[in-house]
Amino acid sequence: QLNKSCSKPQMFCEPLRFWGQSKQEVAGRRHTLPASEFRSLSPEDAISVFEIEREAFISVSGECPLHLDEVRHFLTLCPELSLGWFEEGRLVAFIIGSLWDQERLTMDALTLHKPHGATVHIHVLAVHRTFRQQGKGSILMWRYLQYLRCLPYVRRAVLMCEDFLVPFYQKSGFKALGPTEITVGPLNFIEMFYPVRGHAFMRRNSGC
């Protein structure tokens, strides 16, 4: 049985490729930092993650989805459910997720990782301020969802967001479930889901 809490499958079920580069370009850069790299995050990335998250969310809503200790918590328990986008070795965007075992999100879902769950709760997606308005958030989400299709224990992905972000996630294939019972300060959220196991054709053709 696959140990879901500590397994670390190869990202995207294929050798890592650098976005927008040919094999020749990759070979030529062998002794330098890759121009663009996607990989799972580790606890050592926590400070960089939190700095991007804090700037992205505090200015808009006044609240961070994850505090620094919670970032470290999830990157220790389930690093395989995170994804970072690095440019020249610098983190520019990331997603952090964990496993959940109920139909709908509750307050416990904000801080717990349920190793036997079949739902990936996406806690946060954030892009560094100097790399926004370039489509990086959508690209990163697409790659993350592609990766989830390769994990046999994942049935769906869920997240919660404010009203104004619903169209962004709908473009990635998420559907709204309606208001969530979770509130953070004055903020209310819409819960959204993505049926990972519902894309059998895409799984068959993705190399999983």
59: CB partners within 8 A, 6+ apart? none
Which entry of 41, 75, 99, 125 is annotated as an active-site residue?
Answer: 125
Report yes or no: 92 and 128 within 8 Å, Cβ to Cβ: yes
Which amino acid, one-letter code, is at 160?
M
CB 56 within 8 A of CB 93: no
Q: Which of 40, 82, 98, 172 is catalytic?
A: 98
Given 40, 145, 151, 169, the catalytic residue: 169
| Catalytic residue list contains 169 | yes
Catalytic site includes residue 112: yes
Segment holding 20, helix H or strand E: none
Indicate if 123 belongs to the active site: yes
Catalytic residue among 110, 112, 165, 177: 112
Beta strands in 15-108 (DSSP E): 36-39, 82-87, 90-100
Whether 125 is a known active-site residue: answer yes
Out of 113, 121, 123, 128, the active site residue is: 123
Residues 6+ apart with CB under 8 A from 112: 98, 100
Catalytic center residues:
98, 112, 123, 125, 169
